[in-house]
Structure 1
Amino acid sequence: MKDTRLLAVWCPDWPVVAACTATNTSHHIPVAVVDGNEIVATSAVARAEGIRGAMRKRLAESMCPELVIFDHDPQRDARFFEPVAEAVEELAPGIEVVHPGLVAVPARGPVGYFGSADQAAERLVDHIAARANVEAQVGVADSLFAATKAAHRNLIVPPGRTAEFLKPLGVHELDAPELVDLLRRLGLKTLGAFADVPENAVASRFGGPATRQHRLARGLPERPLDKRKPAPELAVRETFDDPVDRIDAAAFAAKLLSERLHENLAARSLACTRLGIHARTENDEELHRVWRAAEPLTPRGIADRVRWQLDGWLTRERLTSGIRTLTLEPVEVVNGTALQLGLWGHDDERAVRALLHVQGLLGPDGVLTPVIDGGRGPKEQVKLVPWGDERTPGRNPDHPWPGRLTRAPATLADDPAELQDARGGDIGVTGRLELTAQPKKLTVKGKKHEVRAWAGPWAVDERWWAPDPHRAARVQVQTNEQAFLLIRRNEKWFLEGVYD
């Protein structure tokens, strides 16, 4: 029988390690990495102060005022992880990057070469510390999920005892928060208790995603062994007239080539779960890396991994020239019917290609898409991100935002305006939040409107604790033609938006 045991190498708190390395920040102070307004990684010193993952940034800062905070940056994590991946590969060829901070490799090679799993783990940890100056832990088990959990505990799980190792672990070890919450409410608090539920009952009650988590809890691979060997013609290659030596150029190359690979796979109802990235530099340096994914990769997922890997290669000192040829190869594929088309079918695919083409001509900021963001004013409630980047809000829109507009205008603006009374006098706002006169006339962009109705004013009182607090007032005005949102700041009126 083929040995399918996996060896996982895990670097604890990797987002924190990468952020500290990039900024030359000491690892011996409390540090946290936040995504939006939520902490996603902490240093050991921060955890000693009570800071935990999923904690709100403001709460963490109140608990530990000296906490140093960095924004989450997956590209930074991947760039600084490349030397670690190289160090592992020097002793255990054929590694696969699961995500920055975690690599996997078939255990048979290093275990056979070094004599035992314990000796292989010891040599790998020492080599990574010497070559990359990074702390690492190693775990071995019969599945990637179990090997990762073993690495978190620096354990070697004996063959055939993976399910026994997983049984007492809590269900929070599963990367499925909603399912974890449901299982806890059902009284299933350990992986063993969840694994004891019949698979057909899990599938019928909770659906496909829960079935995959059920396989993980039982110590089985995340997918059944029905993977197909990809045909050679599925690989895509691009040779650049000018060698790629800049990160922005690499990002464009990653997007375009990822779209081509996805189209090749979608045409055959396939999706990629292990992605091989090959590059050849102008000086004939050969570069190769394999990325493993728990779920079939979307075009966005492929592009992210290619961009991260190119960033890691281009920023390392030993690379003597730019990349001349880039090849993407699906190392492992599964049925990908669900990913074949976007929500709007073929029209969606054509729109994606058109937008990518425009971005190639105008640059990353040439095509922007809106994301609902957290904030009080209409401009604060919309965040524009480059097409193809992760559409995540900078601030959680579900948080309470006192004074937030319940209905934001469809069209945003920032133009001078005049709000006047019947005699043409300027209308102001008193300290009691009252208009100084009845609005009768509105002038916007040189056009005069007759005011039929109005509402407000509402206070905009932000940063009240600062020496220069931001104080203003908003008014909604209805004319014969349209409804407008006005804001008064610094004794002047401005048009902030127009309602449909």
Structure 2
Amino acid sequence: MGRTMVLWAPDWPIVAVEAPASTPAAVLDKGQVLACSQAARAEGVRRGMRRRDAQSRCPGLVLHEHNADADSRAFEAVLTAIEELSPGVAPLRPGLCAINVPARFYGGESEAAAVIAERLVGLGVWDVRAGIADGLFAAEQAARRALAQDSLVIPVGGSAQFLSDLPIDALGDPVGQGVVGLLRRMGLLTLGDFAALPAADVHTRFGTHGALLHRMARGLEGQPIGRRQVPPEFEATLLLEPPLDLVEPIAFSLRTTAEAFVTDLAGHGLVCTTVLIEVDTDGSLATSRRWMHPRWFGATDLIDRVRWQLQVDGAIVAPVDAVRLIPEVTEPLGDHADSLFGGGPDERVERGVARVQSIVGHESVVSVSLQGGRGPGERRLLAPWGERPVAARATQLPWPGSLPPPAPATVYIDPQQAMVVGAEGQSIGVTGRGLVTGEPARFQVAAQQGWQPVASWAGPWPVDDQWWDEAAARRIARFQVVGVDGSAYLMIVEGGHWWVEAKYD
């Protein structure tokens, strides 16, 4: 029978919400305290208390609602850290896991527990307790009785003796068949009392579930645990010997590595949609960049990204000796597979754009999307083709003073100068209260010759933007102006000067 180590982090829901150790805090589940911090426990808060009782004991108690998904996500970092020291970790529930004891590698069972505990303390899990025994159940009970930041080791063959004095409630009766309650009413108050019963009689009276609890009370392995499989390593590295200082030879040498990278992912039913490319020169990291793809990366796409990264970032200050392809986001291959009749026009367009991009450069082909803002120029968001744009301003905000629909079709990168005058040639402006000083009668755009009568106009829409920042503050008003020839413009007036911001087609 193999030796098992159980690692237990008490009050894990408190650890998951990252409550400061000095702050009295508690996590509530259905109005009752599920877990509380040491500071709250010192004030008299206990698990199972109702909200009102806990707050009466500790008026400054910080309350958090329980989120089981958040507990699991936070515990994933703990499992990953343990797997770096010993593979094959078995998560039992958030805050509790088991592994085979790596005693020989670390020089002993207690030493192995100390190394793992030190690693978890580095993650911010300040209270980790370890129990080591012949089976899972005995190891868990040992962990629950270990001191803070310590381990309790049950000698080989000593699990039954260790368990014999524990209360019958330690079995927990996870299936909920009431066996533990019945044993208590029968006068069997310890695990040793229950273990002393003949196994055949226990099976006859309590069935399979009772027999399982009986084996656990005797210190025998109740059932096998399912350990996590270590995820495969998909990182691909090209080592260049001798190092190269020209882009094209590096890209040519990368082809076999890139094809193996894509093939390895496909063999596991995956494709890469976000890749991190790292380039080393003189044995140290010279450039690192994260690339995204609108569909998924093929070998040619990866080679193009390496070529662009070396050219744009100016990474070749010394000969390149290594290139690494690290998949950061992988998705199931089935989600990106072609349909029965192929990808259709969209796929051909994407491949054509990617081909043009490989010729003219990564930054030379961009896609346009929307972000939050008041003017059309502010709402425009440009990103290189294949990159997922990151909006600086959220579109769902109200944006008071924003332009009403319809939106103009042509937005000038640099606004063009214009002039707007009234019927008698006087300049038209906007007062501090947002009122027009006169009715626009004629306008002139710098890019065109001559004046044009105004057929209709709308506005103004005043905007007092970033008034709290003296350097960035702008006070403008927008107008929609239509000429007699049918041309329509979006104009702004700022500081008495007129500009054409966009044009309606």
Please, what TM-score do these two structures have when normalized by structure 2?
A: 0.44
TM-score normalised over the length of structure 1: 0.44
Compare CA radii of gyration and give the structure with the larger one: 2
